[in-house]
Amino acid sequence: MGQPAAALPIEIGKQVQRIGFRLKLKSDRLNEYVKHHENVWPEMLEALSRTGWTNYSLFLDRNDASLFGYFETPDLEAALAGMAATEVNERWQAFMGEYFEELEGLRPDEGFKRLEQVFYLS
């Protein structure tokens, strides 16, 4: 395995984008989904870091199978495009797609509902 690529630099003075999103999981697949995220492929983690995804967290509400995600990035469009261009993301999205509802033919990274930020305390 080659050396890990450096993460995208955050320009001094540039606002970091805080991204919240929501997806709906299949209620009968929650345990499997959680298990896969205990062992995310190292090459997937490296690709996320390299393409500018930082402080990335996922939160699950088992009552209604809703998944809330949060990450920070210097440029959302660049982060999404960077991941879309990687082979590992293609494999991961295909693998994870079966765990979600309401994607309407989209991959999970294309079908998430971005949430409006209404408050921030630094």
Residues carrying an active site annotation: 37
User: Could you tell me which residues come within 8 angstroms of residue 85 by beta carbon, excluding any fewer than 6 positions away?
Assistant: none
